């Protein structure tokens, strides 16, 4: 079973920041938090991952709480092409396999 819980769906206005929350209260000390997204029926696309520090790349920022029990993915300026299902995943530290939950369907609206 997935070790994360996410809201089923969210809306965001185009050009605004999209903040996607994720709870992972049972995360272990050596497990990473990963975010992927799946646009329509394409292959999942890696977005970002982190262990305990906040992370930023060209796509997004990842904010991890100090107790590591939750995190937030931030898309700073959402576009219509960011409409997708976003998956927050706690990666298994020994195998790297990903256990996908149901994710959050983000709808970016004009």
43, 58, 66, 110: which one binds another protein (CB under 8 A)? 43
User: Smallest gap, in angstroms, from Cβ of residue 14 to another protein?
Assistant: 26
CA angle (21 as vertex; 100, 49 as ends), nearest 5: 60
Q: How far apart are CA 108 and CA 79, in angstroms?
A: 7
- Taking CB under 8 A as the rule, does residue 42 contact another protein? yes
User: Smallest gap, in angstroms, from Cβ of residue 3 to another protein?
Assistant: 12
7, 32, 55, 72: which one binds another protein (CB under 8 A)? 32
Closest C-alpha among 81, 16, 73, 13 to residue 47:
73
What tokens appear for 53 in the block? Answer: 């520090």
> 91 with 98: CB under 8 angstroms?
yes
- Taking CB under 8 A as the rule, does residue 55 contact another protein? no
| Site for another protein, rule CB under 8 A | 30-32, 34, 36, 38, 41-46, 49, 87, 91-103
């Amino acid at each position: 079973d997935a070790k994360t819980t996410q809201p089923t769906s969210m809306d965001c206005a185009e050009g605004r920041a999209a903040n996607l929350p994720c709870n992972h209260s049972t995360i272990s000390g050596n497990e990473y938090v990963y975010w992927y997204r799946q646009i329509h029926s394409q292959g999942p696309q890696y977005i970002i991952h982190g262990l305990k520090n906040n992370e930023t790349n060209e796509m997004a920022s990842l904010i991890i709480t100090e107790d590591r029990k939750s995190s937030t993915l931030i898309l700073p300026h959402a576009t219509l092409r960011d409409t997708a299902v976003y998956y927050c995943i706690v990666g298994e530290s020994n195998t790297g396999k990903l256990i996908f939950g149901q994710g959050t369907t983000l709808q970016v609206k004009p």
